[in-house]
Amino acid sequence: MSGKELKRDNYCFVCGDENPRGMHLKFQRENGRVYSRFSLPKYYQGYDNVIHGGIISLILDESMAYLQEAEERFLTGRITVRFHSPLLVGEEVEVEAWIEEERKRFKVTRAVMRKVSGEKVAEAEALMFVFKEREK
């Protein structure tokens, strides 16, 4: 990465508490998977009362990035998103992400977003490049 270090701070648009314009989503890790449950306000809509597909893609990508271990940094090399049904403003959903395949320099990850009714909103697969944190 051209000698540039990937540093964590608390300003991520999706999960950072310090970003005043961020989404402030919370992710939990359990048994090697990442979960988040939330609903989104009208601010994130595309069509009237329908959450924008780019926002859904962003959240799926972030959930897969949360699979990294403490000493790792993930960079998305490729992401494929498949949409199944519209997500309406204010509808509660859960995102789940997991690692499908691990190699030394990359991981293949998957994520799915479902409404609380169980209806699938979207799913994604990503190739995540892995960078280890440097010892100081």
Which range has the worst mean pLDDT, 18-32, 52-66, 96-110? 18-32
pLDDT for the residue 6 = 65
User: Percent of the chain scored above 90 by pLDDT?
Assistant: 72
Distance CA 13, CA 62 (A): 10
Domains and their CATH numbers in the chain: 28-132 (3.10.129.10)
- Tell me the per-residue pLDDT of 38-93, one tens digit each, with 9 for 90 and over: 999 999 999 999 999 999 999 999 999 999 887 888 899 999 999 999 999 999 99
Yes or no: say if 127 and 64 are a contact pair by the CB < 8 Å rule: no
Distance CA 123, CA 97 (A): 10
pLDDT for the residue 1 = 45
